[in-house]
Amino acid sequence: MTKVALIGAASGWGAGFRQAEDGPRGLREYGLAERLGERGVAARWAAMVSTQKHWRAFPDLGPPETFELVARHNAALADAVAESVPAGELPVVLGGDHAIAIGTWGGVARRMGGAPFGLVWMDAHLDAHTLATTPSQNAHGMSAAVLLGHGMPEFLAIAGGVLRPEHLCYVGVRSYEVAEWALLRRLGVKIFYMEEVRERGLAAVVTEAVRIASTDTAGFGLTIDLDGFDPEDVPGVGLKVADGIRGAEAARVLQGIGRHPRLRALEIVEYSPELDREQRTATLVLDLLASMLVPASLRASQPLSAA
């Protein structure tokens, strides 16, 4: 049985909607670990990595202070991912805004000893801005660029260049700026836009994305930004983008990926309990994790669990 180490990454300083800082604690209060246990998944809270300043106490804080808070938080998160999870447990990082990807995948890279890894990035956005191109000045729009080796020095010191462009694949993109798109195009990163997901079907696209992320690598990860889903399914996110992936379909398609022998970590980000309605978004997080992680003996099929 796969043992799961839940790591809360409680920071909203990378986003314009900072309520995502409350996401990990909201999921813990929702009883995520216990509910996963009821579905046959052995899960425990291994760490809760918080920022030095809660967003409610400093509502008007902006750059460069927010960048410093994001950098410190990601450095601590990378340590937690790399060092607080024993061998044999799968790290599952729960955000927090998508700036936490710097810490999550910087920690995974360290945990893997610098061996090459791939990443499937399910998101409505590209998150590939640098300080020179970002219109919002929000760090959650920069994390993918940092992993590819482009961005602010304080972020690059944590995870700069840990990911090669040919090992990154996006799924469900439908909202982006030209400058970040141009960087990824120049680097040769594969992007499955939402139009192609609808035309080919999510299952076919995810299968190809996993193949890209696992080819010539020592393992791969999956990061899921909840705003990649249709707003109908995720009221508890700050940036809602119409016509996204449907939650039930994603849970079905991703079934068993948590038991893939080369999976190194999972990450789910941008949950804001304050914005949720009837715990619909929290329930989707539970459904996704249960589907991805449920033991083989409790499943009828294993579409993504083979090497």
What rounded mean pLDDT belongs to the chain?
Answer: 95
**43-75: pLDDT as tens digits:** 999 999 999 898 888 988 999 999 999 999 999
Q: How, if at all, do strands 168-173 and 263-269 pair? A: unpaired
**59 Rama class: left (phi>0) / alpha (psi -120 to 50) / beta:** alpha
**160-196: pLDDT as tens digits:** 999 999 999 999 999 999 999 999 999 999 999 999 9
Question: Which is catalytic among the residues 22, 73, 97, 98?
Answer: 98
**78-120: pLDDT as tens digits:** 999 999 899 899 999 999 999 999 999 999 999 999 999 999 9
What pairs with residue 170 in β-bridges?
A: 121, 191
pLDDT of residue 306: 39
60 assigned to active site? no
Question: Which is catalytic among the residues 21, 22, 97, 127?
Answer: 127
127 assigned to active site? yes
Compute the average pLDDT of residues 117-124. Answer: 98
Question: Which is catalytic among the residues 154, 225, 267, 276?
Answer: 225
Radius of gyration of the chain (CA): 17
| DSSP SS3 for 290 | helix
Element (H, E) at 10: strand 3-10
298 band by pLDDT with thresholds 50, 70 and 90: low
pLDDT of residue 55: 87
123 assigned to active site? yes
pLDDT of residue 87: 87
Question: Which is catalytic among the residues 125, 129, 167, 260?
Answer: 125
Q: How far is CA 154 from CA 61, 122, 128, 212, in A?
A: 19, 25, 16, 29
pLDDT of residue 296: 64
Per-residue pLDDT at 299 exceeds 60: no
Show the domains of the chain with their CATH numbers. 3-298 (3.40.800.10)
227 assigned to active site? yes
What pairs with residue 268 in β-bridges?
A: 94, 224
150 assigned to active site? no
